Each structure stands twice: as structure tokens, then as C-alpha cells.
Amino acid sequence: MRRSDQRRAAVFALYEREVRREDGGPALDDAKPFTRELVAGVEEHRPALDDEIARLSRGWDLERIAALEKSILRVALYELHHRDDVPAEVAIDEAVGIAKRYCGSDAPGFVNGILGAAARAEPG
């Protein structure tokens, strides 16, 4: 299974957890290691990721952002800040691609804007 597919699986596992307001669930029962690592990493850093999303999404309250878009942003921000094996461009491109495929027409630009601002703020 490609990393793109595993990344998408992580987004949907996190989305399912948020919608159902649960910590576990069958979404990870047969998940590949990269998917599990992404979900665990997002859960470990979720408060900081959510703070960053809220800070960078000027004019948007975190609760107003759709659950799927938040899940996409959380995975990509986790990769940007905590995964040295994922280039920033890949994390952003993959997130925008998921938003294009599964979200509304405004979501890809919103996701790209948040992640672009986060990447520009990264030291290095």
C-alpha cells in the first residue's frame, strides 16, 4: 500500500474518531504501520496542532472548520513538524489532493493556505 493511501486512511480514521467522539475503533484494526504512526502522532500532538490551525485560520473558529478538513490539516501539520522523512511539499500536496477529492470546492484553497503559512513559519 502506497504512503498516499496510508495517509488518506489516517485522515479518515481521525475523521471517524472526531465524528463519533471515540478514541479507538475498527478504522485502525487492519491499518499499516505508517497509518498507525500518523494517527498516534496526531493524537499525541493534537492540542498543539489544533492551536496552530486556530491561529493560522484567521477569522475561523476551530469548531466551525469541518471535521474532515481538520483531520486533513492535523495529519499534514503533524508531518510538517514531526516527520523528517516527509518533505513539506509532499505533506502539503497530499493534503490538498485529499481535500480536492473529498471536500467542498473551497477546502483545497483553505487547506493550502493554512499549510503554506505553517511551512513558511517552519525554521530551517
- The pLDDT, as a whole number, for residue 59 is 79
State the chain's mean pLDDT as an integer. Answer: 92
Q: What share of the chain is helix, strand, coil (3-state, %, to 5)?
A: 75, 0, 25
By residue range, what is the domain housing residue 83? Answer: 3-121
Convert the pLDDT of each residue in 94-116 to its tens digit.
999 999 999 999 999 999 999 99
Residue 119's CB: how many other CB atoms inside 10 A? 16
The enclosing domain of 85 has a CATH number of 1.10.940.10
Q: pTM here?
A: 0.93
**Sign of the alpha-carbon dihedral angle for 114, 48, 119, 12:** negative
Convert the pLDDT of each residue in 39-90 to its tens digit.
999 999 999 999 999 999 987 888 899 999 999 999 999 999 999 999 999 9
- The pLDDT, as a whole number, for residue 42 is 97
Averaged pLDDT, 22-36:
76
Counting the structural domains of the chain, the total is 1
